[in-house]
Amino acid sequence: MELGGASTLLLAVCVTALIFLMTWISSNKRKNMPPGPAPLPFVGNILQVNMKELPKSLLKLAKVHGDIFTVQLGTRTVVLLHGYDTVKEALVDNADVFSNRGSAATVKMLFNDYGIIFSNGERWKVMRRFSLATLKNFSMGKRSIEERILEESQHLMEEFRKTEGSPCDPTYPLTLAVSNTICSIVFGEHFDYSNQTFLGLLEAIKEIFTLARSRSLQLFNNFPRLFRHLSGPQKLLQKVDKVKAFVKDKVNEHEKTLDKDCPRDFIDCFLLKMEEEKDDPNTEFHFENLFVSVINLFVAGTETTSTTLKRSLTILTKYQDVLAKVQEEIDNVIGRDRCPSIEDRNRMSYMEAVIHEIQRVSDIAPLGIAHATAQTTIFRGYTIPKVGRILQLYNILSLSIISVIHLIEMFGYLHNIAQTKILKNKTKKTSS
């Protein structure tokens, strides 16, 4: 018994010493880094935040620790930037230092630093520059992005007409319409709303977003070595492979029908650039970057745009007075006999103010995209190491006034602020 008691005591001492050592190492790593809640060994601050309501949970910590603070999410050390001034100082005033993308285990597994959204350094600059130039050229080409959107809107209206005025859920048609518009830009192709290949692609994308929010993926991101064999990461990889297979088939079709003098879409433009730089061993124009760039455009654009449209319908249905004023402006500027055009924007100040307010309240991506420092830097007196990941409360204005939104009429903000400021500024620009 005495030997057993001594062994238990020795084990307790060893465990305590190990915990103390890990705490000491962690505190040394965070020396002169922004303050934050004290992390626990192994799990960090995960037990102190609500992972299902992470933005709100981090907002509460900001009230305690200030506009820049550090949290430990499992094995990841994350610096939070809170508030407009702080985010602007980092991402605008010090853009060269804070422009790198942070990377989670899921992102690394799926995209391996390729593409537009999650790449860094010269690759990011090349991919971003090419994508912006290509999309800009399409906005002014023979078949502009505006024309593609208007064409798809006709298909969407036909879909709604089939309901013959009966109640319906617009979620599915809106997602189809947005996805088809992106398909037109990326693949140069419009899919029928009943096309099984197209529907299978959208189902895979929907499951990707569902899996990305799952608990198993959160565990994988925070403890990648420990939970990499969970079913969640493996299922996600299978769904992304399905999307990649679809993209690969489209690329093969484009290679067979490519016209160098008349590129039809994003893939054609990329293939031409690949041919142009085929002898450059350091070129960024290869199939991996093409696959991931197409997936970036398709997946990111589909979810954010369709969600914004769905929120718009919900909000305007609730606030009938705002809907009436929007309709009045549409009737006065556009009328009922033609389609809208981008030139109408300058004469539709109220509509633009409503769109801005809907985006503010909807807060589709409250944390934005994680950033990382390109070099060890001193920011507001704190040291942020190069390996650190920066997670900014990018749309913090929306988060910081949630309590106000629930206490007053939401569009009280629109009437008091948008009409007196946005509309006034628009009037000045129009008259000048």
Confidence of residue 426 (pLDDT cuts 50, 70, 90): very low
* Domain locations along the chain: 1-31, 104-302
Strands 389-392 and 76-81 turn out to be parallel
- pLDDT bucket at 168, cuts 50 / 70 / 90: confident
Judge whether residue 410 has pLDDT over 90: no
Over residues 138-166, the pLDDT tens digits come to 765 556 888 888 999 999 999 889 888 88
Question: Measured between alpha carbons, how far is residue 262 from residues 142, 258, 266 in Å?
Answer: 10, 8, 12
Using left for φ > 0, alpha for ψ between -120 and 50, and beta otherwise, residue 4 falls in alpha
**Is residue 251 exposed (0-12), middle (13-18) or buried (19+ Cβ within 10 Å)?**
middle
Grouping H, G, I as helix, E, B as strand and the rest as coil, residue 69 is strand
Q: Does the pLDDT at position 404 exceed 50?
A: no
pLDDT above 60: residue 281: yes
State the Cα–Cα distance between residues 326 and 95, nearest whole angstrom: 38
Given this model, what pLDDT does residue 402 score?
A: 36
Q: Which residues pair with 70 in a beta bridge?
A: 79
Q: Can you tell me whether residue 71 is helix, strand or coil?
A: strand
DSSP per-residue letters across 87-130 = HHIIIIITHHHH-EEP--HHHHHHHTT-SSSS--HHHHHHHHHH
Tens-digit pLDDT profile for residues 48-107: 888 777 777 888 888 888 888 888 887 778 888 887 788 888 888 888 888 788 777 788
Query: Per DSSP, what are the bridge partners of residue 76?
Result: 73
Return the residue matching tokens 């399905």: 242
What is the CATH architecture of 104-302?
Orthogonal Bundle (1.10)
- Helical segments of 223-286, H only: 224-227, 231-257, 266-276
Confidence of residue 405 (pLDDT cuts 50, 70, 90): very low
